Amino acid sequence: MTDLLRQEIATAANTLVVKVGTRVLTRENGQLDPGQIAGLVEQVNQVITSGRRVVLVSSGAVGAGMGRLGLQRRPEDLAHLQAVAAVGQSVLVEAYERSLRMHDRHAAQVLLTAEDLEHRPRYLNARNTILTLLELGAVPVINENDTVAVDELQTTFGDNDRLAAIVTNLIQAPLLVLLSDVDGLYDGDPAQPGRRVIPTVKRLDQSVFDLARDRSDGLSKGGMSSKLRAARLATGGGENVIIAGGRTPNVLTRIIAAEPLGTLFLAQGQMVAARKRWIGFAVQPRGRLCLDAGARRAVERDGCSLLPIGVLQAEGQFGKGDVVALQGPDGVEFARGLTNYGTDDIRRIKGLRTDQIAQALGHCPYDEVVHRDNMVITT
């Protein structure tokens, strides 16, 4: 059975980003499951043969390293985590390459950190590299560079989910597929009888996040909350997202055939321009600006720039040109943008009219705190 909306999305999906979770790729003892990887690669090959391109964002490096080293528990200290990830990364890409070679294709390992994508030149270089690999017919296998990432390894829930969403925005892939050990987003606790997978989510609001049920087994970092945050990032950039069971037989080929598997999260609004994707969805804000209700309406609804008169408070330490989050009086973020002023200057001019900036600072380099052209609405 096919779905007309999914048929339209599948037809337009000339490029897929597929994120594969640790539990999908490993056995219960944490070691990589070669049969599972071979089955996934078989599906990837079929999708590519259909005329589409596929980018894999693959978890499993720490799990693979645990299996290779005979460890039963995920290490807790950073040095051992990084060492296990280093061992596992070679095991992981070797498994992909071995399976892809059976189809006359090759894996191309790409290791990234959040910092790589927060610097505009490196962000663009990563984009060009991935697109060139696709032109050459290789399958990019992207993972977070756990051997050098620090904060990411200590985060409770999966940075690779976020990484997959950023990569989706980075290359403007129309569809992100998050393959998990659950079949999608349930309408309640999936352990309870009678609960069902929600087929389509049109708006990803707090009521949807309240449905997330996460568990931790010491092997995987990801969870449904992480996947929902990733879905919000990707759909905010104009892409569609599907969360589905990674162990469902032929899940990728069936998704491309428009079968109603998993939960579909619909793109919100129009596609976002490439530069604004970087501002809104790749860079972590260096600070936050709290706006009054009138300024929020002007920015969010009327398409205006942010003027100092509408700023109530500046939080964090940031400089000119940094990305800052904009939030309303309720403390909820609704936009991000490049600030024209650093923290100290904003604290001196907040609440002032534009014609009062020069008196407060001794000069007036900009009328706007954040210009509309350098701003993205994220809600």
More confident residue, 119 or 53: 53
Confidence of residue 214 (pLDDT cuts 50, 70, 90): low
**CA proximity to 204, closest of 192, 196, 212:** 212
Q: Looking at residue 33, what is its pLDDT?
A: 85
For residue 119, what are the contacts with CB-CB under 8 A and spacing of at least 6? Answer: none
**How is 259-326 classified by DSSP, letter by letter?**
---SEEE---SSPPPHHHHIIIIISPPSEEEEE-HHHHHHHHTT-PPBPGGGEEEEES---TT-EEEE
Q: Looking at residue 131, what is its pLDDT?
A: 95
Residue 58, helix vs strand vs coil: strand
- In this predicted model, what pLDDT tens digit does every residue of 117-132 receive, in sequence order? 878 888 889 999 999 9
- Whether 302 has a pLDDT exceeding 50, the answer reads yes
Residue 27, helix vs strand vs coil: coil
More confident residue, 245 or 120: 245
pTM comes to: 0.83
Q: Sheet of 175-180: strands edge to edge?
A: 107-112, 139-144, 53-58, 15-20, 175-180, 240-245, 263-265, 200-201
What domains are defined for the chain?
Answer: 4-276 (3.40.1160.10), 285-377 (2.30.130.10)
How far is 54 from 35, CA to CA, in rounded Å?
Answer: 20
Q: Looking at residue 215, what is its pLDDT?
A: 56
